[in-house]
Amino acid sequence: MAEIAIVGGGPSGAMCGEQLARAGNTVHIFDEKLGWEKPCGGGLTYKATQRFPFLLDNPHPKKLIRQVEIIGAENQRVRLDLQQPIVVYSRTVLNGMLRDRASEAGCQIHHSRVQKVDTAPDKPRYCVEGEWSTADFVVLAAGARNSYLPGIRALSKHELEITQGYFVPQTAEEIIIKFLPEFEGYIWSFPRADHLSLGICGSMAAHTSTELKTHLHEFAAKEKFSTENAQFYSHVLPSPQESTLSNRAVMGRNWALCGDAAAWVYPLTGEGLYYAMRSGELLGRALAEGCPEKYAARVRASFSGELEFASRMVRRFYRGSFLGSAVTTRMVQFLRRNAVFRQLMGDLFCGTQDYGTLTQRALDHLGGTLSQFVSSVLNVDGAEAKVPTVRAAD
């Protein structure tokens, strides 16, 4: 048995703690906020529900969504039907459920803030309310901007996103995604069980908080979402570059990072819930097996390569052009005109289509123009893609 201290009781910390406690370790989870909301859609795709079936099989309030409406920068609209639903939770509910699972497994939950961590001794130390304690291992799951380990390079503003949101007392049956001209990010409306999560995310290096709030209010007014009695939230998320994802240290001899603290967020969309849960699970299992050194390789095999690929696409997707118009504008236009492309994008959105086989699927099932479009967005090195010469009827 080992004693593990986990700093942060969100999805990654709770999943890690559950794995460790079930293996018989003594686990302390410290979180100063415990249940709290974030400006987050709260959506979990098929890859998450397939990996963690309890996300669907539980009595907690949630919403199953089977339609997504995408609005382009020039306000063209298209609906996608999803073969597999996206399950949407309030973050208070989701975090509480994961924390309860950790507690039931044997974790000791502390509503306290860890002030400092010292990993220099063989046994790491941590300070809570001025009192120092030791553990055999420390897990840092305290978000993107924690500064517990000074030796770990902090993410620059070029690798961070500002998110702002409201919890609107309305209900709906579809997700809405809105793109903006010359904007690295998007607006969202995610229906939850009894309210909407309305929000916006944008590159911290390219956009200001005031700019985000203005865009969000304009969208809310146009879509008739009232923010008058809605609570406002703001948060910062990692949006890592490829070099950070491939080179940043996520583990030392007596410590490890997981979730947002490790910058494991999908750079194109800001999705982080699945990667938080999965990294917490993988770290917990590696520690429980007494093989912490396997953690990074397992993350690599599971998803970090996918995140690196997405990091190469971000600027091309949001700032690039195709046939004289913005990539996001062309995407919506093509979606409106081509049912096969709508199905492909619907599968990508709900998590049943990965990027590894996306280009080949486009080549096999789409005409020339659409195949060129997909290859153009994915081909971040600028090499010429081999595409059919027959143009799509679009």
Q: Which is more confident, 354 or 298?
A: 298
Q: How confident is the model at residue 381 (pLDDT cuts 50, 70, 90)?
A: very low
Strand partners, 64: 87
pLDDT digits (tens, 9 = 90+) for 196-228: 999 999 999 999 999 999 999 999 999 999 998
From 216, 238, 260, the end of a domain falls on 238
Distance CA 213, CA 229 (A): 16
Number of domains in the chain: 3
Q: Are residues 21 and 97 in the same domain?
A: yes
- The mean per-residue pLDDT over the stretch 273-289 comes to 97
| The predicted structure's pLDDT at residue 156 | 85
Q: Are residues 181 and 229 in the same domain?
A: yes
Inside any domain, residue 54: no
Q: Which of 5-9, 39-43, 251-255, 335-339 is predicted with the least confidence, judged by mean pLDDT?
A: 39-43
- For 238-260, letters b (16+ CB in 10 Å) and e give bbbbbebbeebebbbebbbbbbb
Residue 283 has pLDDT above 50, yes or no: yes
Q: Are residues 295 and 224 in the same domain?
A: no
Q: Are residues 96 and 26 in the same domain?
A: yes
Q: Which two tokens stand for residue 33?
A: 């906020």
Give the three-class secondary structure for 245: helix
| The predicted structure's pLDDT at residue 94 | 96
Say which residues have a Cβ less than 8 Å from residue 19's Cβ, sequence separation at least 6. 280, 281, 283, 284, 285, 287, 288
Domain that holds residue 142: 3-34+92-152+244-310
Residue 174 has pLDDT above 50, yes or no: yes
| The predicted structure's pLDDT at residue 137 | 97
Inside any domain, residue 250: yes
Give the three-class secondary structure for 346: helix
Q: Are residues 283 and 204 in the same domain?
A: no
pLDDT digits (tens, 9 = 90+) for 45-103: 999 999 999 999 999 999 999 999 999 999 999 999 999 999 999 999 999 999 999 99
pLDDT digits (tens, 9 = 90+) for 101-160: 999 999 999 999 999 999 999 999 999 999 999 999 999 999 887 888 877 777 888 899
| The predicted structure's pLDDT at residue 1 | 66
Q: Are residues 99 and 203 in the same domain?
A: no
Please give the C-alpha separations between residue 123 and each of 127, 136, 142, in angstroms, as whole numbers.
13, 5, 20
- 161: closest CA among 24, 251, 39, 79? 39
Q: Are residues 370 and 299 in the same domain?
A: no
| The predicted structure's pLDDT at residue 353 | 85
Type and span of the H or E element at 322: strand 321-322
Q: Are residues 173 and 257 in the same domain?
A: no
Inside any domain, residue 320: yes
| The predicted structure's pLDDT at residue 380 | 44
Specify the CATH number for the domain of residue 198.
3.30.9.10
- The mean per-residue pLDDT over the stretch 354-370 comes to 84
Give the three-class secondary structure for 194: coil
Inside any domain, residue 252: yes
Inside any domain, residue 47: no
> Is there a contact between 204 and 99 (Cβ–Cβ < 8 Å)?
no
Question: For the residues of 67-82, what is the DSSP string, one character each?
Answer: EEEEE-TT--EEEEEE
Q: Are residues 13 and 139 in the same domain?
A: yes
Inside any domain, residue 66: no
Name the pTM for this structure: 0.92
Type and span of the H or E element at 296: helix 295-299
From 223, 238, 253, the end of a domain falls on 238
From 289, 310, 331, the end of a domain falls on 310
Q: Are residues 233 and 251 in the same domain?
A: no
Q: Considering the chain, what is the average pLDDT of its residues?
A: 90
| The predicted structure's pLDDT at residue 263 | 92
Specify the CATH number for the domain of residue 27.
3.50.50.60
pLDDT digits (tens, 9 = 90+) for 296-305: 999 999 999 8
Say which residues have a Cβ less than 8 Å from residue 342's Cβ, sequence separation at least 6. 78, 80, 81, 335
Residue type, 38: K
**Residue carrying the six token digits 């799509």:** 392
Distance CA 294, CA 306 (A): 19
The rounded percent of the chain whose pLDDT value lies above 70 is 96
Inside any domain, residue 330: yes
Q: Which of 253-267, 292-306, 341-355 is predicted with the least confidence, judged by mean pLDDT?
A: 341-355
Inside any domain, residue 20: yes
Q: Are residues 135 and 29 in the same domain?
A: yes
Residue 388 has pLDDT above 70, yes or no: no
- The mean per-residue pLDDT over the stretch 244-263 comes to 92
Q: Are residues 97 and 18 in the same domain?
A: yes
